[in-house]
Structure 1
């Protein structure tokens, strides 16, 4: 639609500069800024008005029509339509911006209700969380995270629902609701993941629709971690990016021994885990759970964000919240502030009480 005004302007120019100039093109030329006001906003209206003015001057000079009443009436009509179009398009754009700002505020409020910051201290770990929305439109993201202290240890989840909008935030709410309840009652970490998958499967059940097709359209990757009192971390990874363990200045990805499908796609495999995988997690270590928006962030040269190297360059004697803030700044520098996808992170710091950064600052 945006090319229509300029197509009309080009047609008028062709008519006026060829033997077909006997056709009366005044109404066509006047329609150019009017159409631009509807399809292109104030800047497009101004550009269209300037173009039509240039065409009018050019054709009047070429056809030696200066001094005729028709030329002056055409220019007057063009001026009136251009001014009216600019005023109208400016008002429409301002109204749309107010509506978009309101939708953004509602979206942010809804997401903050569902995704609350994790406590700074959870049993044997210090923790911090960060959630960043992609910077375009009023999209509500599908990233999720939570950390809860239970009698089994600290249990954490990070996940990513495919898609955007209300359907994504609804799936986030369903998954987090199931997780927040299951972590306190299920002895086995595998059962916590199973409860989350079952909740999502119930949510996407649509009468008359093929369940498997619906699930393929909106699957959820998830990673659940458990930090008991013992110096280990237990993980169940369902198609999610592996967490990074920062041990003595070196960041290592905790890769699963087998690749499992995302939540909702259990029918694609018969080999679901019976128990979580364990990895050493000793005092002084830091564990980062994150969504793919972090590692898939690109700069203008198409280079991915180097998360392990960035983690290794951050000072060790800071709190998890400060650590995540430095990661945030590095991510924005890499992308020049233009995030293409949402980002969610949880940092868990296995601490020694005598070296607790929160106690040292408190």
Structure 2
């Protein structure tokens, strides 16, 4: 779902990238214009200041190497035009060269300083993002009551570590409870919504015995945050909703699922993959007006020793290759049936990267769960 909204926003991003590339070409275009003027009958026009400005313009959009390249280009043009017009020996030529050297030196130094500062700021942001990820998206513990689990998160944005996908797994007195969700939208509003839902889930799982009430608690928290966002004059947060899936694994050989508009989990049993579709489809969190009085309870499915359960966001199943073919998750899950959980996640990661040629269109959150009624021993036989 979020992949659709991201694809709709790509034209604007493409235009900005094209404008940035055009700005990088401006210094070299100016040098070519000066060269054309000086080699034409219009060479009486004074073009020296234009060449002197080229390294300064390059420093705005390029690094030290690009700025130095623009300065060398301007110097070559100056030599060519001075030789063609027999201007060597004149005071103006040497003045222009001196000005070009001074401006080029200052521009290269400035570009290097700016790049160093930007790199430092980027590293700071990455460290903050890493710390936020440890709080917001904590790794799932290997052992949780009757199950063994593992998680994976892949951010689609380059350099990003957190986004609008969310997951959590907690051992409670009611059994192991897990959530996987996907916030509509992206950027900081999506991260904020994900934090709100996760905070509500982590609180409700320990005192709400009804799984439906757990997800209702998340929906109420999201609604309160929308009201707060409206008071803060941040309407962008009011437009979002969250697809979510809440799962409970008790001690018995069953699993309970409440699905609010999210892709159904997949169950691997004896080499065959089954999608656990809800009996009554429900709208995502934040769209409670479309419930129409529906109050379905949790859907219950058999989950026995040796079974594997996969909770995922739509970033997996909506991943496309160059021919717009979707990633075949059930087939990939079946092929990796004999792998351990970590090997399964590594294989899934490699398969996604291979299918999309390393360009994910949406964030990916995955929890893989093995039923392990083995008294705390090793991995169950899958």
Question: Which residue does the alignment assign to 1:325?
Answer: 346
* Distance in 1 between residues matched to 2:324 and 2:64, nearest whole Å: 33
Correspondence for 1:134 among 143, 156, 160: 156
Query: Over the residues paired in the alignment, what is the CA RMSD in angstroms?
Result: 2.9
Question: Which residue does the alignment assign to 1:153?
Answer: 175
Secondary structure in 2 matching 1:357:
coil
Change (3 A) 1:49 1:214: closer
Offset at residue 2 of structure 1 (A): 3.5
Offset at residue 214 of structure 1 (A): 5.2
Superimposed CA distance per residue, residues 176-203 of structure 1 (whole angstroms, 9 cap, x where no aligned partner) = 1211221222222111111000001101
**Runs of 5+ consecutive residues of structure 1 not aligned to the other structure:** none
Equivalent pairs, count: 359
Correspondence for 1:184 among 197, 201, 206: 206
Q: Is the 8 A contact 1:42 1:86 kept in 2?
A: yes
Within-5 A mapping of 1:14-93: 14-93=36-115
Correspondence for 2:319 among 297, 307, 324: 297
Q: What is the TM-score when the length of structure 1 is the normalising length?
A: 0.87
Q: What is the TM-score when the length of structure 2 is the normalising length?
A: 0.83
Secondary structure in 1 matching 2:274:
strand
Question: Which residue does the alignment assign to 1:102?
Answer: 124
* Distance in 2 between residues matched to 1:210 and 1:278, nearest whole Å: 41
Superimposed CA distance per residue, residues 22-54 of structure 1 (whole angstroms, 9 cap, x where no aligned partner) = 111111111011111122222331332233234
Correspondence for 1:233 among 255, 267, 276: 255
Offset at residue 356 of structure 1 (A): 5.1
Offset at residue 317 of structure 1 (A): 5.5
Change (3 A) 1:38 1:200: same
**Runs of 5+ consecutive residues of structure 2 not aligned to the other structure:** 1-22
* Distance in 1 between residues matched to 2:132 and 2:289, nearest whole Å: 32
* Distance in 2 between residues matched to 1:72 and 1:48, nearest whole Å: 19
Q: Where does structure 1 differ by over 6 angstroms across 4 or more consecutive aligned residues?
A: none
Correspondence for 2:366 among 345, 349, 352: 345
